[in-house]
Amino acid sequence: MKHFPIFLSVENRRILLSGGGEAALAKLRLLLKTEARVEVFTETPAPEIAAWADEGRLTLHRRALAPADLPGAVLVYAADEDEVQDARIKAMADRAGLLVNIVDNLHDSAFITPAIVDRDPVTVAIGTEGAAPVLARAIKRDLEEKLPVTLGTLARIGKAFRGAVEALPFGRKRRDFWAEYYFDTGPKALAERGEQGVKDGLRALLAEHLTAAPREGHVALVGAGPGDPELLTLKARKALDEADVIIHDRLVAPEILELARREATLLDVGKQGFGRHTPQAEIARLMVEHAAKGLQVVRLKSGDPVIYGRLDEEIEALDAAGISWSIVPGITSASAAAAGIGQSLTRRGRNSALRVLTGHDTEGFAEQDWAALARPGTVAAIYMAKKGARFLQGRLLMHGAPAATPVTIVENASRPNQRTVASTLATLAADLDNADLTGPAILLYGLALRAAEARLPDLQELANAP
């Protein structure tokens, strides 16, 4: 992020603009929506600028901007559409220590003006750091369609009521009040009874919240999916929005953690096979401790919490402490990995069942029904198998699995840096060593990349040749 987004106070402060043509008009249409004192410097103002001056909306100086004009200003715009003149304005502003924007010159500008969705006092600013203005406009158009014009009215009424709401304890109690106002009672009252109805409804709503019993703590055991934030379920996203505390695994993608409220407490309790380890008892203690304070806790797990997530132990700990809980399933890493190689996990004529296995568990390398796995046509999604690949390979070969059985290794399934390694049972351990995988990986035993699948009969015939 090269440009830090802020909202600058400009009420009754001077903003200076040099220029009188189309570029100046475009900026002025935006600046005149503010409560700043806008001053324009140009010898040749467009008719619209002259008209705005006559209406008292801005001050027009029919001359060039001079150094003596700068003291007391907060921002300067150079919109002369002339490189020499723009450079002169920039030099003056720099010497005066003022922020300057040169229209259509990102490199020399100290700040940029974002695309804006105006629902005063609600303002949404959209910036692409000059990389894609057309994208910013598309986002602006989309937001303008989704945000009702009445949102500004609700925000204005709500702002005037903020002092009264301070009677509620800071934190969740206030957030719950405002959430109900903006997304339920406020819009309904405005549509049915107008602004006075909104004001009356606010007072009634505050009375309800002041006398309401404290909300009990709760733990939501949430699946974060394989990593792509767009694969997060709507229910999971809602849980993140409401969470006071998020206790997450190390495999949860940073892009998903970014969706949490800024005020939420994030606790990393990641576990790593043969590496850093947070004891399960400590995770249970943290969940119980925070929920017992009346907080909304999200236990965020990569993939689906019901698959190799120690879910039963965590539920038992919550039940023992009398803490309520719910489960929000997520898209599994196995499904995402199979989708990434263009395959289904089951197919008529190949396998009617899917085995979901772990390469190692709390006791070390995990034993399986090797004879069943070794049968031709078997498909298995094997989690946590990077360290145990040589063990898996040896057991399967020992029980008669064909050496040419395809194995596809999918690292960072669904993420932009997803990587696939095509292998066979015969070369699995060596291929994993050579791949130098650093991200979470899943093995799809019995599945090849769709593009390579057509060659499997030839490969198997070659492997079985004397």
**Residues belonging to the active site:** 249, 271
Q: What span, in angstroms and rounded, lies between the C-alpha atoms of 345 and 342?
A: 10
The closest of 44, 9, 1 to 24, measured between CA atoms, is 44
Question: Is the Cβ–Cβ distance between 225 and 231 less than 8 Å?
Answer: yes
Strand partners, 220: 298, 326
Q: Whose structure tokens read 């390579």?
A: 452
Q: What span, in angstroms and rounded, lies between the C-alpha atoms of 154 and 160?
A: 10
Question: Is the Cβ–Cβ distance between 81 and 105 less than 8 Å?
Answer: no
Q: What span, in angstroms and rounded, lies between the C-alpha atoms of 299 and 245?
A: 9
Q: What span, in angstroms and rounded, lies between the C-alpha atoms of 229 and 244?
A: 20
- State whether residue 209 is helix, strand or coil: helix
Strand partners, 325: 219
DSSP for 334-353 reads: HHHHHHHTT--S-BTTTBS-
Question: Is the Cβ–Cβ distance between 3 and 112 less than 8 Å?
Answer: yes
The closest of 382, 381, 374, 432 to 404, measured between CA atoms, is 374
- Tell the burial category of 124 from Cβ atoms under 10 Å away from its Cβ (0-12, 13-18, 19+): middle
Q: Judging by DSSP bridges, how do beta strands 324-328 and 218-223 pair with one another?
A: parallel
Question: Is the Cβ–Cβ distance between 335 and 356 less than 8 Å?
Answer: no
**Does the N-terminal peptide bond of residue 457 adopt cis geometry, omega within 30 degrees of 0?**
no
Question: Is the Cβ–Cβ distance between 429 and 466 less than 8 Å?
Answer: no
Neighbours of 253 (CB within 10 A): 20
The closest of 306, 301, 292, 244 to 269, measured between CA atoms, is 301
Residue 142 tokens, joined: 């989309």
